[in-house]
């Protein structure tokens, strides 16, 4: 256990979870809502700056993100695409390996059901000893546990 893993549930409210080299897990939700007088790309610049701040607090050896294939709305799809492009370019720049994981794979690993709802994901995180603020953080924690338990990291 000598690698630091970052798991992300990308979106305007990005859930994140990190397993540090010492095995400690920290998590939260970061908001990248567009602000009143900023251009459309500023949320992605704030996201990139946030990623860099996390990296400055310690080396990141691998990044896993929730790979969404279907969105309820067009705005959510566009936002996800912007966060995904920013994340993958940032990882390439810093030579950090990254991998998308399908939503159903994460949900099935966490709850036994590939179509688990938000409350079920929160309960799954709580059953592992976490106290997520919302479903975004719970999803990131589930993804982190999937990576720890199924990948060689």
Is residue 71 predicted with pLDDT exceeding 70? no
Percent of the chain with pLDDT over 90: 82
What's the distance, Cα to Cα, between the start and end of the chain in Å? Answer: 7
CA–CA separation, 16 and 138 (whole Å): 9
Cα–Cα nearest to 108, from 73, 142, 138: 142
Question: pLDDT band at residue 40, thresholds of 50, 70 and 90?
Answer: confident
Average pLDDT rounded to a whole number, residues 65-84? 86
Q: Distance between alpha carbon 54 and the CA centroid of its chain, in Å?
A: 13
Question: Given this model, what pLDDT does residue 52 score?
Answer: 96
Question: Any idea which of 15-19, 31-35, 60-64 has the lowest mean pLDDT?
Answer: 31-35
Question: Given this model, what pLDDT does residue 45 score?
Answer: 96
Q: Per-domain residue ranges for the chain?
A: 5-150
Q: Which CATH superfamily includes the segment(s) 5-150?
A: Ribonuclease H-like superfamily/Ribonuclease H (3.30.420.10)
Is residue 72 predicted with pLDDT exceeding 80? no
Question: pLDDT band at residue 1, thresholds of 50, 70 and 90?
Answer: low
Q: Give, as one character, the DSSP assignment of residue 138.
A: H
- The label of the residue with tokens 């990131």 reads 140
Q: Give, as one character, the DSSP assignment of residue 39.
A: -
Average pLDDT rounded to a whole number, residues 80-106? 97
Contact partners, residue 138, CB within 8 Å, separation at least 6: 15, 118, 121, 122, 124, 125, 130, 132
- Taking each helix axis from N to C terminus, what angle separates 118-127 and 103-111, rounded to the nearest 10 degrees? 50
CA–CA separation, 146 and 33 (whole Å): 28
Question: Given this model, what pLDDT does residue 57 score?
Answer: 84
Question: pLDDT band at residue 153, thresholds of 50, 70 and 90?
Answer: confident
- Pairing state between β 5-9 and 13-19: antiparallel
CA–CA separation, 38 and 34 (whole Å): 7
């Amino acid at each position: 256990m000598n690698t630091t893993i970052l798991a992300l549930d990308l979106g305007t409210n990005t859930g994140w979870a990190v397993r540090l080299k010492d095995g400690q897990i920290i998590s939260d939700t970061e908001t990248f809502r567009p602000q009143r007088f900023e251009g459309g790309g500023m949320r992605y610049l704030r996201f990139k700056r946030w990623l860099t701040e996390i990296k400055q607090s310690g080396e990141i050896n691998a990044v896993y993100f929730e790979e969404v294939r279907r969105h309820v709305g067009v705005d959510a799809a566009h936002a996800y695409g912007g966060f995904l492009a920013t994340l993958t370019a940032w990882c390439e720049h810093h030579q950090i390996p990254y991998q998308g994981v399908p939503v159903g794979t994460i949900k099935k690993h966490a709850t036994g059901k590939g179509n688990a709802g938000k409350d079920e994901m929160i309960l799954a995180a709580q059953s592992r000893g976490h106290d997520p603020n919302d479903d975004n953080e719970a999803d990131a924690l589930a993804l982190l546990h999937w990576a720890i338990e199924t990948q060689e990291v």
